[in-house]
């Protein structure tokens, strides 16, 4: 499921299956890229917050035309971040 936080700029993605998550991430990234083209200076940052929770956002920390991935998920069993 995609929840739009800020149209074209910030999306919350959550899913029950990997297939659904991948489809929704691709859709959210496509929307973010379309908006980035309009602005002409932002890239797209995908952040994993858990096994089924992601955000997709335009970011000035990502070069224009690029998509970066970040993993902020901390595993409860190890305390380590992937």
Distance CA 72, CA 62 (A): 17
Q: Return the domain boundaries, the chain.
A: 2-71
The encoded tokens of residue 31 equal 């929307």
pLDDT over 80 at 22, yes or no: yes
The percent of residues in the chain predicted with pLDDT above 90, rounded, is 84
| Beta strand 43-50 pairing with 67-71 | parallel
Q: What is the 3-state secondary structure (H, E, C) of the chain?
A: CEEEEECCCEEEEECCCHHHHHHHHHHHHHHHHHHHHHHCCCEEEEEEEECCEEEEEEECCCCCCCEEEEECCECCCCCCEC
- Give pTM, 2 decimals: 0.86
pLDDT band at residue 78, thresholds of 50, 70 and 90? low
The tens digit of pLDDT for each residue in 35-69 reads 999 989 999 999 999 999 999 999 999 999 999 99
pLDDT over 90 at 73, yes or no: no
The percent of residues in the chain predicted with pLDDT above 70, rounded, is 90
pLDDT (mean) for 3-17? 94
């Amino acid at each position: 499921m995609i929840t739009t936080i800020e149209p074209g700029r910030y999306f919350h993605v959550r899913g029950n299956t990997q297939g659904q998550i991948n489809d929704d991430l691709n859709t959210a990234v496509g929307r973010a890229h379309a908006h980035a083209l309009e602005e002409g200076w932002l890239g797209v940052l995908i952040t994993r917050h858990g096994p089924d929770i992601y955000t997709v956002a335009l970011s000035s920390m990502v070069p224009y035309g690029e998509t970066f991935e970040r993993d902020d998920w901390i595993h409860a069993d190890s305390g380590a971040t992937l």
